[in-house]
Amino acid sequence: MKIILTTDLHEGFDNKTNRINSKFITKMSEEIKKDADIKVMVVTGDLASHKQRQLPRVLKMLRTKINIPILVVRGNHDLWDTQKGDFGQKGQWLNKPKPSIKSIYKQHEQWFHDNDIRHLESGNFEINDIVFIGWDGWYHSLNPPTNDEFRMTPYTEGIRTTEWLTYRAEREFNRVIFDQTDAKIRIAVTHHSPLPSEWQYKDHAANPKFLQQITCRFNYFLIGHTHQETDMIIDDCRIINAGSDYNAPKYKIFEV
């Protein structure tokens, strides 16, 4: 069986992105039509760029053109909702309330459901003795600081949203590594990669010290976020990032 993997489509990045994504998704659909062995599509997060309304737009494009199961995890950009003037302006969020993370999650559930797209945090996906187990992941870097904090609601359940997302990612990471499914081939899917190039994300699941937890339990590990094409093997686990960049989406087809 083959899998088609893509990532970081960043729908809405600028006024060219929609046309580029539409052409790109059509190209993937042609690949799928050509090869009946391609049974599943996986999208490893950052489907949207900086506004919530961009997410349903790209989900609909995918569903309209792709006729096989589509599995996704969310990236950091999929939680953003910026308004004019938000970009790079530290502290501006104080005057501009953003939707709560929980209301965003609820809305996403509806959008995933409406477009028949499987968000892997809502359950594993199994086909032909192959299981896909996924979590959105999160990273919280203070050194250097990321700009995520200013593009989301600042607090969730009384703590900083970045911290809340880190705890949540830890919980989901534990669910993934202790999953007992005994399918023959196990595929882990997330957005933030715990690779050495991201060493600065301390003490959470995107840190390389957690990488072995995945590589010793999974046959494949599909990732996104870095916009770097990756295809390497560590401890018999193949780690793949399709490597899309802004307005330069990429896909990879691989056989399992």
Q: Which residue is nearest to Fe ion (CB)?
A: 46
- Residue in this structure with the two tokens 């699941």, named with its chain if needed: 205
User: Tokens at residue 182, please?
Assistant: 């005994």
Stretch that binds Fe ion, among 26-34, 95-103, 170-178, 221-229 (CB under 5 A): 221-229
Structural contact between residues 29 and 67, judged by C-beta atoms closer than 8 angstroms: yes
- CB neighbourhood size of 74 (10 A): 28
Rule CB under 5 A: say whether 75 interacts with Fe ion. yes
Residues 2-21 that bind Fe ion (CB under 5 A): 8
- Nearest CA to 6 out of 242, 191, 240 is that of 242
Cβ proximity to Fe ion, 206 vs 237, nearer residue: 206
Rule CB under 5 A: say whether 151 interacts with Fe ion. no
Total residues interacting with Fe ion, rule: CB under 5 A: 5
Rule CB under 5 A: say whether 76 interacts with Fe ion. yes
Stretch that binds Fe ion, among 1-9, 116-124, 159-167, 213-221 (CB under 5 A): 1-9
Rule CB under 5 A: say whether 190 interacts with Fe ion. no
- Nearest CA to 38 out of 255, 186, 241 is that of 255
By CB neighbour count within 10 A (0-12 exposed, 13-18 middle, 19+ buried), where does 227 fall?
middle
- Residue ranges that bind Fe ion, judged by CB under 5 A: 8, 46, 75-76, 225
